[in-house]
Structure 1
Amino acid sequence: MTLRISLRDGEKLIVNGAVLRAIGRTDLCVENSVSLLRGREVMSPDDAVTPARRLYYACMIAYIDPHGATAHHDEIVRYLHDLLGALEAPEAKAACASFARKVATGDFYRALADCRALIDYEAAAIGRTAPQVAQAAA
């Protein structure tokens, strides 16, 4: 199955751990199985500052390093455990369960999609609690 990817000038792409950058508008056809992430899907270690973001980063590293994925498994499990302890909403816990199933089968790319939903949920929850914390401090 061929995958066609269009990159904007300067956009980065990670392919099996190698970072590539487009010079000019670039179209690529990937004709075999690889681990790849577009620049907008890549998170830097400095951005992994919340439980959901740390989980995303650990899963992303496991995905782009398929030979070392098992080495990252304990970290993923630890971050997932931390996140589950902080969540209350049933839909967020369901996203965690879906994430765990995908990680267990080695489907890290699809697990990242669940993690992006968890990052959105976490941001919304922090937004809801920030006014309460400010009111309590006043």
Structure 2
Amino acid sequence: MKKNLQISLKPGERIFVNGAVLKVDRKVSLEFLNDVTFLLEHHVLQPEDTRTPLRQLYFIVQTVLIDPANGDDARAMFHGSIASLQASFENVAIRQGLTDVREFFERGRVFDALKVCRSLFAIEDDILAQRSRSDKPDVGLQCEVP
């Protein structure tokens, strides 16, 4: 038997559930009695925070989860972006992570794709820091960062 999922939210916190945005005015606990797709507010990346290639990918995947009405456009962007990133990164952990992100995404497990993507941020940050210190553009990442 599958256990129900319970989530506690603080006053003013938002949660994105099956494309709907819910905001609570007081401390509340929600119990999901069936399968649901959700994203807590603190996992939502804002557009201004998408300064690296993996964060841009995360934002695209997040859009599929939060805004299913525009999911087709985001899916097309995902496929172009993931192919470009897999060709750009040399780091083995990131390349494997991107493969996992693609597999989860294609199987409709968007939340799992987000978790894997988020787990790669620290590696990407290290690569970018090394690149910045050494002033060499090929320390594991070959794509431009705005």
TM-score category (smaller protein): 0.7 to 0.9
More off after superposition, 52-61 vs 116-125: 116-125
By relative contact order (CA 8 Å, sep 6+), the higher-ranking structure is: 2
Deviation at 1:44, TM superposition (A): 1.4
Residues 95-114 of structure 1: pairs in structure 2 closer than 5 A:
95-114=97-116
Q: In structure 2, how many angstroms separate the alpha carbons of the residues matched to 1:17 and 1:61?
A: 9
Give the CA deviation at 1:69: 3.2
CA distance in 2, matches of 1:121, 1:77: 22
User: What residue in structure 2 maps to residue 24 of structure 1?
Assistant: 26
Percent pairwise identity: 27
List structure 1 segments (4+ residues) > 4 angstroms apart after TM superposition.
none
Of Structure 1 and Structure 2, the greater helix share is in 1
Of 21, 24, 37, the residue aligned with 2:39 is 37
Corresponding letter in the other structure for 2:104: K
The TM-score with structure 2 as length reference comes to: 0.82
Shift of 1:68: 4.5
Q: How many residues align?
A: 134
The answer to whether the 8 A contact 1:14-1:37 is kept is: yes
- Superposition RMSD in Å: 1.9
CA distance in 1, matches of 2:71, 2:116: 18
**AA aligned opposite 1:10:** G
Cα deviation per residue 1:9-64 (whole Å; 9 max; x = unaligned)? Answer: 22221112222222222111112232210011111122222210111011111122
Q: CA deviation at 1:67?
A: 5.5
Amino acid at match of 1:20: L
Amino acid at match of 2:39: L
Contact kept, 8 Å, 1:51 with 1:82, in 2: the verdict is no
